[in-house]
A and B are shown apart, each in its own frame.
Chain A
């Protein structure tokens, strides 16, 4: 070991600690506890003194500060006047401002989780209320929304999502057909695969898959966009200009989603059925059989119900995305959190809303 230390107890009232060798970062250095004994025995002052071949960098000062803290705990003093002037200057600088003794604020509430959940729920209801009022203003013609923003959002929510949506819809259709084929062929009922694909896509998978894609794609993008605007004080700037952020930022997105989602869902139904068709004709059905069975298996009511689901999911995407974006406070980390929350919340909403809508359709006999 290059470093060495030696405690000289010759004067019990004022022990001297010699620090010899290289007291630099990266070397194996003794812990500050080694001078505990010296501190405990002395009457009021411990002397730290450089020894032979002495070298130093920040590591030494860290040691000295730690030793000083230890001394303070035992109400003793530390004398470092034997060190080079530069060491003493740095030491004085570090000691110039007394350290903060209070700790960061923490809530002492035991029900933090429940409380934040409750507050979140109330805020969400408030946001829904504000959105409703903003929609009312829109129809009353007193909204601050710009048509150009609506077009811009519509472009984001619609055409740009078509590629990924096509791919996933075709694949989901194929998966449904494949599963159905394996199971139904055991009963010789392969022909009903078409029913499975059609109803599966139209009533359930089509709108749900579309919603998940749009939540991950557009909802997250909007959450981070609004979050960044909030952090960058742009939302404050809007407010001070007398423009309501709800009208200016949220409404175009809400309308865009409300228009795009039913259409995208319908598009997804068609592609899913095509995917199913490709899979079944590749196995043991003719295209003619598939199409014949397919067209009999669903009614316009089913399509409407599916599109309605898509519409509701669209509103939920905007609710989750815009609310977490607008509530974003502080730093760039908050923007990331807002994005995560937007997607997670949206997916939770979908599952709940899907269950509720299915129950409603069942009771209404749709």
Chain B
């Protein structure tokens, strides 16, 4: 059993030790602040209130430039909206459909089954409207960056005056969380950018935390069910391991 434990620990060490450096992308001396996330840890869950507020921040602050191309309106049920509310939200958007019987494409109000429309038709239009910079799609942003949630939160709050040694070119901004510090996105959040219906204070921190919460869900919508199954699976397999080991001891005892 000792050998076996050593083997298992070796496997785990290989898993953690070698996975570490592969993660270390991104650049230099960036400062990350760590948020307190309800979705962290083995029992993590998404806070519906935070996600609804975050969705509101996304719509009113981010959506002008950034899409969430893998999200459909029907997915908003995870945020706690009912069917009627989702229909109403979808109806506020227009999507292209067709061709109709005359062969023409036409615009119609969005339905729950539609994907949430992105602000630009293509990357070229996005660049043309943003000084040549491409605002990335946000549906996977928290998984596409190391320490995604903390990174995004830090980035949103990371705007500050550049140190004297750094020259900030026109159309660029200084951000202490961004790799290289010069970012093309102007500061999106100042505080009080939106008005929350539930009376939650609209400090920059709470706005950044809420939109991060929403985007974490957008990137990993199955996280809650994954962790729920995970707890059960680990519990079951632990029992299975103990029973296997006891059975092994019993069988081998006959040998001596």
Q: Do A and B come from one complex?
A: no
Please list the residues of chain B having a beta carbon within 8 angstroms of any beta carbon in chain A: none
Please list the residues of chain A having a beta carbon within 8 angstroms of any beta carbon in chain B: none
